[in-house]
Structure 1
Amino acid sequence: MLERWFRRSLVGVDIGSRAIKVIEVEAQAPDRLRVIGVGSAETPPGALERGQVREPQLLARGIREALAQGKITQRRAALAVSAHLGFIRRLSFPRMPLKELRASIELQAERYIPFAHDGAVFDIHPLPSGDEQPEMSVVLAAAPRSTVTGLMTAARLAGLAAERVDLEPLALYRAAAATGQILPDGAVALVDLGASAAVISLFDAGVPVVSRVLDMPNLEQEARAEGTEEIFWDIRRSLEFALTQVSVPLSRVLVAGGVGGDDYLALSLAAYLRSFLANRLPGDFAVQPMRDPGDRVPLSHMLALGLSLPPELFT
């Protein structure tokens, strides 16, 4: 049953401030993927504002253009909530069935989710622990209900059936795992360089620990030399803080994204971080672009790749 599920393809839809990236992948195993189609299109001006859908019809048009550009006919899709709108937290509770825990969180949502008073959707994932432990640990992931509704409306207008709405850091981690660059028991930082923001996410043995969004203004070709130095400094400071939050050494910084699929930002950041952080980190520390070993997936489409992968592959 599960094997048949894994072989079904799914299109990941990454809606950025300037570009919409789509990819259809048939996943047979975490390291056995068949890329069926890759496409992109400009995000229509006015369709999106800081991750919130303002004009669903406009956004739907951009999604259709990206699908057509990639010659993708699949209509089952996974979408992502922008990192600065989503919320991830590790929590501990007295041991109880997950059904009861979900009901308890829903009744006290404002206690755990900062934007719950405006409406939120959430899910929980239990972390491994011994049965003798009096408490259980879970990862709580949440997003504003209005954000999820807007994304699903735009997808429906584009002719897609949204089967999953995910948070960007979680999807990007799955992409990193699929490229074979994750050490299961180590700490890894993921840096997603978008057109208007950089998302820095830290995972400790697969568990999200820190996620931070940094604005990235004025990164057009003529402004890169001046703009990148400031944003790279912010990223370095964020990683220095992240080093205090993990129980094991930070062994990898993986860089994804880049404007229009351009590797310039990723490669420049790699050189910058090596020069400032390498002497404080273990000998096997590396800063690398999040590369697909088969060069089937552009750096700009890594988030879309993670969306297209069923979470069940990694549990």
Structure 2
Amino acid sequence: MEADGRLLTYHAEVLLPDGALIDGMPTPLLTAAVRGAVEAGGFTATRARVAIAETGTAFRDFRLPALRDSELSRAVMFEGRRQVPMTAADVYFAWNAIRDADGYAVYLAAARREMIDALIAAVAAAGLQVERMDLKPLALARGMGVADGLLLEWGAAEATLVLMARGRPRFFRTFLLDAPADDVEAQLDELALSLNALIKFIRGSASDVPITSATPLFLGGRFSFLPDGPQRAEQRFDFRVTLPTTRFTVPPGFPWEAHFAGAGLIQQSRWRNRLTPSQGGDTRVAA
């Protein structure tokens, strides 16, 4: 997806071929897929922001006491290196910290340096300069404008579930769908089974976040393109089904409901460090 400021301009959606990513590492098939999408979609941007899934990453949510701002970065990195089971020299870190009465609530992500560097090179080979990378679940939450509740994005071959609480991701998981994209009922059944299993797991691992039938479930992706998508979701999911809106200007016929992660990438994030070294910015950007 491409945007010029707050105006969404171009979009394309392609299924990655088998072997485009192997354990998070790109192959030439990924470069070919990106190049083909750029050429077919009429894109004009030369800078890109990229969302990655959980493969090759680690996440920590922890607290720090009140510190001077000059001490915060060093304290976060010390604690991150202590908690993340990766050699510090082998990863890129990104983090944000929210100040409250008791100190700082810190969210830290670490991604394999080898994987990130390879993804940057693969996208560059397709003709785009990577401006920054972000985690897909966090980009989804920003794009949907959700601070509290469940998010479920349904794609042609995979789906992503995110639990947000007070603006912070408490759980997220991307999972593949076995049923073919043209078998809508079978994919909906898969979504229901996977959602129920993941909610059971979340209730055990994040017991301080209550999940009930009153919890909002924000839907993205294919739900919006079925004539009765929300109704089908309500029949299968025991939550308060909600369809997000967009804060962008959208041309007629633009399928923005399929691009919430892209919308979240275009919006500014609050990372103190990035998963890529670039700190540049541009109002015309592809995501």
TM-score normalised by structure 1 residue count: 0.70
Q: Secondary structure at the match of 2:99?
A: coil
Distance 1:248 1:129, change over 3 A: farther
Distance 1:119 1:171, change over 3 A: same
**Within the alignment, does 1:221 sit opposite 2:185 as a pair?**
no
Offset at residue 122 of structure 1 (A): 1.3
The answer to whether the 8 Å contact 1:105/1:112 transfers is: no
For residue 241 of structure 2, what is the aligned residue in structure 1? 287
Higher RCO, Cα 8 Å, sep 6+: 2
Offset at residue 78 of structure 1 (A): 0.5
User: Which sits farther off after the overlay, 295-304 or 204-213?
Assistant: 295-304
Whichever residue aligns with residue 175 of structure 1, its letter is G
Distance 1:147 1:111, change over 3 A: same
Aligned counterpart in structure 2 of residue 72 of structure 1, from 43, 50, 54: 43
Whichever residue aligns with residue 202 of structure 1, its letter is L
Offset at residue 155 of structure 1 (A): 1.4
The answer to whether the 8 Å contact 2:59/2:84 transfers is: no
**Within the alignment, does 1:128 sit opposite 2:92 as a pair?**
no
d(CA) in 2 for partners of 1:240, 1:99: 41
For residue 83 of structure 2, what is the aligned residue in structure 1? 112
Root-mean-square deviation (CA, aligned residues, Å) is 3.2
The answer to whether the 8 Å contact 1:89/1:209 transfers is: no
Number of equivalences: 261
Whichever residue aligns with residue 236 of structure 2, its letter is Y
**Within the alignment, does 1:39 sit opposite 2:12 as a pair?**
yes
Aligned counterpart in structure 1 of residue 32 of structure 2, from 47, 54, 61: 61
d(CA) in 1 for partners of 2:236, 2:88: 41
Aligned counterpart in structure 2 of residue 239 of structure 1, from 177, 191, 199: 199
Offset at residue 127 of structure 1 (A): 1.1
d(CA) in 2 for partners of 1:215, 1:45: 13
The answer to whether the 8 Å contact 2:171/2:202 transfers is: yes
Percent identity over the alignment?
Answer: 22
For residue 284 of structure 2, what is the aligned residue in structure 1? none
For residue 93 of structure 1, what is the aligned residue in structure 2? 64
The answer to whether the 8 Å contact 2:157/2:181 transfers is: no
Whichever residue aligns with residue 24 of structure 1, its letter is E
For residue 52 of structure 1, what is the aligned residue in structure 2? 25
The answer to whether the 8 Å contact 1:204/1:247 transfers is: no
Offset at residue 245 of structure 1 (A): 3.6
**Within the alignment, does 1:310 sit opposite 2:268 as a pair?**
yes
User: Which sits farther off after the overlay, 147-156 or 85-94?
Assistant: 85-94
Whichever residue aligns with residue 303 of structure 1, its letter is A
Q: Deviations over 1:242-287 (max 9, x none)?
A: 464426976421122349x9548964434311xxx24xxxxxxx31
d(CA) in 1 for partners of 2:177, 2:89: 28
User: Which sits farther off after the overlay, 68-77 or 296-305?
Assistant: 296-305
Offset at residue 201 of structure 1 (A): 0.9
Structure 1: runs of 5 or more not aligned: 1-22, 28-32, 279-285
Q: Secondary structure at the match of 2:117?
A: helix
Whichever residue aligns with residue 153 of structure 1, its letter is A
Q: Secondary structure at the match of 2:236?
A: helix
Q: Deviations over 1:128-179 (max 9, x none)?
A: 313xx3x3221112222222112111111112111111001110011101xx
Structure 2: runs of 5 or more not aligned: 271-287
